[in-house]
Amino acid sequence: MIKTTIYYKKVKLNDPILIVGLPGVGYVGGLVAEQLRSKLGAKKLATLYSPYFPYQIITLKNGGFRLVSNRFYYYKNKNKKGRDLVILMGDCQPLSPEGQYDVNERIVKFFKNLGGNTIYTIGGYNTGNRNAEKPRIFGVSSDEQVRTALSKFGIRFGEAAGISILGSAGMILAFSKKHNVQAACIMGETNMLEVDATAAKSVLRAMGEILDVPVDFKNLDRIQKDTEKAIREIEDISGSALEAQQGPAGQQVQFESQKKKEDLTYIR
């Protein structure tokens, strides 16, 4: 039977912290992880393959390809007394409940074997139509010490009560508790955007302070501007279509559309 496998090289790390940024709501985790990896110049540590991932390959610019995977990168803190970082990124998450249980527990056990005892999973928290020009950051953790420490950085605990955290962002927390590893899920406030750079910037800013590492917003600024431009173009097209409608019925449709715009989170 083919099993989930992690291929890694031996690296000595100093009390590392794991940052998990896999694809999810608003792609917040993926954006934050990529910005940290790029800015810090993190190096490849390990690759995780699993039969629970989609059965596909990724084509490359040189004409080759690679199998879909999750990848670990490491950053050696320049301060000898500072903690090193491990950043987990990937193309996907497991497709099935069985895969979520298998892969996420292996991630926690692998990190613990590296000598790590602190994990932060990054995700998006969909608040629907709330205006969020400055997205809030919500947190969840079973460890009171972690909640107290992160609250000092503006992470809001207890305000996201009753929601379900799907996939690795939540399951890694569950297995961290099982294996006595401190962990928290940090979520940026987002809406229905597939790629929410605004939420990612809020979380990245907080993570820079929490981890005491430099961060870079240039790429996120570009993504944010491109997204806002695309939204404005969609609004203009929709507005033109509504103006073409005549009579009381058309006016009512336009009024209802304007009401919806005012309720949407990022649409300005």
Decide if pLDDT at 263 tops 90. no
Q: pLDDT (tens digit, 9 = 90+) per residue, 113-127? A: 999 999 999 999 887
Domain interval for residue 247: 222-263
What confidence score (pLDDT) does residue 265 get? 37
Decide if pLDDT at 267 tops 80. no
Instruction: For 130-180, give the DSSP string.
Output: ---SS--EEEE-S-HHHHHHHHTTT-EESTTTT----THHHHHHHHHHHTT
Are residues 143 and 256 part of one domain?
no
Tokens of 166: 């799907």
Q: pLDDT (tens digit, 9 = 90+) per residue, 48-66? A: 999 999 999 999 999 999 9
65-72 mean pLDDT: 97
Evaluated on CA atoms 20, 109, 85, 145, the torsion sign reads positive
Are residues 258 and 208 part of one domain?
no
Range of weakest confidence among 90-99, 154-163, 204-213, 230-239 = 230-239
Are residues 236 and 142 part of one domain?
no
Are residues 212 and 228 part of one domain?
no
The CATH number of residue 206's host domain is: 3.40.50.10900
What confidence score (pLDDT) does residue 205 get? 93
What confidence score (pLDDT) does residue 239 get? 52
Range of weakest confidence among 47-51, 95-99, 160-164, 165-169 = 160-164
Question: How are strands ordered across the β-sheet holding 118-126?
Answer: 5-8, 43-49, 70-75, 85-90, 17-20, 118-126, 182-190, 137-140, 156-157
Q: pLDDT (tens digit, 9 = 90+) per residue, 168-193? A: 999 999 999 999 999 999 999 987 67
Q: Please give the model's pTM, rounded to 2 decimal places.
A: 0.83
Are residues 256 and 146 part of one domain?
no
Number of domains in the chain: 2
Are residues 237 and 201 part of one domain?
no
What residue type is assigned to position 191 of the chain?
A: N
If one compares 240 and 24, the residue with the highest pLDDT of the two is 24
140-160 mean pLDDT: 93
Q: pLDDT (tens digit, 9 = 90+) per residue, 213-258? A: 988 888 787 876 766 665 565 556 655 554 555 444 444 434 344 4
What confidence score (pLDDT) does residue 260 get? 44
Decide if pLDDT at 166 tops 50. yes
Evaluated on CA atoms 193, 124, 204, 7, the torsion sign reads negative
Burial 49-61 (b: 16+ CB within 10 A, else e): bbbbbeeeeeeee
Q: Flag whether 268 is in a domain.
A: no
Are residues 24 and 155 part of one domain?
yes
Decide if pLDDT at 156 tops 70. yes
Are residues 137 and 234 part of one domain?
no
Are residues 154 and 259 part of one domain?
no
